[in-house]
Structure 1
């Protein structure tokens, strides 16, 4: 059975030209976690929305998160994971709230969980992300037991950094979907 792709944007959501939104547009079978308010993340709401979205999917799934979505997945797995059929996760540009706080983000997102994730995962980072240093990307990947892929100078791997279509990301997702 082919896994369902569940997209989880970060702080402010992924606008219409963001790679996550473009992937969703090009693949109507992909699902997206919905939040009441993307601009003022409330910890318990974000966790509950992720949990609900996961429970609504029957069969295996692959998580594709960006920024604060990655941190929310780490929290969810630390608190609620109970052998859900998650095949893998692609975690792009995790938001390091500990060294680069976002005023609008609920303080309950801290501290960032560092337990190994209970499924295969890949952290994708850049060398000049204002929200995640290279050292912290390596630290998160090591802590979560994730494979780390560094894609060079790509900022926060979002629309502001020039990422609308992202063919390299789609290739990484294909690897994840096929167990690579």
Structure 2
């Protein structure tokens, strides 16, 4: 599938990425990309975030490719049962493990726990890092298996953010292009 033939929905995690983050850069450079905005990026609530994603998919006129990072990955997993039919695929990067007490404590929200374990119902790729401080790579691989999607080990890539050297992230863009060609 060509990017121009799809609606690219950018699904960020908590905090909303800066202009230097690869998600923002990709959004700015893909003509069919738009961000799924949330009312409060610093106080995520599962029901609100999931509903916002479902609404954005419903407004799309073309097949949808989701591009999610961190808590955005879990938002996709929670929303998946309501997304069947319009999703061509999901490119998921650096899932955050909100089953870990320290992440729940940071944002004061427990509604993303437990992480869904049923198949997403659409094609996907979950990229994880062997040294991501927010999610153990073994757990990320188990989620990909449970979700029925492909898994990619990106090596020591941190949390795929500017602080770990992922501003423009050309390697990620090449992986995304390869992924879209499989759809």
- Kindly state the Cα deviation for residue 22 of structure 1 after the two structures are TM-superposed: 0.6
Give the match's secondary structure for 1:168.
helix
- Kindly state the Cα deviation for residue 52 of structure 1 after the two structures are TM-superposed: 1.1
Q: Could you tell me how far apart the structure 1 residues matched to 2:12 and 2:131 are?
A: 20
Q: Match of 2:95?
A: 94
Structure 2 spans left out of the alignment, 5+ residues = none
Q: Could you tell me how far apart the structure 2 residues matched to 1:45 and 1:152 are?
A: 33
Q: Could you tell me how far apart the structure 1 residues matched to 2:40 and 2:117 are?
A: 26
Q: Could you tell me how far apart the structure 2 residues matched to 1:133 and 1:69 are?
A: 17
Supply the RMSD in Å over aligned alpha carbons: 1.4
Structure 1 spans left out of the alignment, 5+ residues = none
Q: Could you tell me how far apart the structure 1 residues matched to 2:55 and 2:131 are?
A: 34
TM-score when scaled to structure 1? 0.93
Q: Match of 2:131?
A: 128
Q: Match of 2:50?
A: 47
1:38 aligns with 2:41: yes
TM-score when scaled to structure 2? 0.92
Counterpart contact for 1:89–1:176, Cα < 8 Å: no
Counterpart contact for 2:7–2:32, Cα < 8 Å: yes
More helix by share: 2
Q: Match of 1:150?
A: 153
Partner of residue 11 from structure 1, selected from 11, 14, 18: 14
What does 1:74-113 correspond to in 2, within 5 Å? Answer: 74-78=77-81, 80-81=82-83, 83-99=84-100, 100-103=102-105, 104-113=107-116
Counterpart contact for 1:3–1:177, Cα < 8 Å: no
Q: How many residues align?
A: 178
Counterpart contact for 1:12–1:38, Cα < 8 Å: yes
Q: Match of 2:59?
A: 56
Partner of residue 114 from structure 1, selected from 117, 121, 144: 117
Give the match's secondary structure for 2:5.
coil
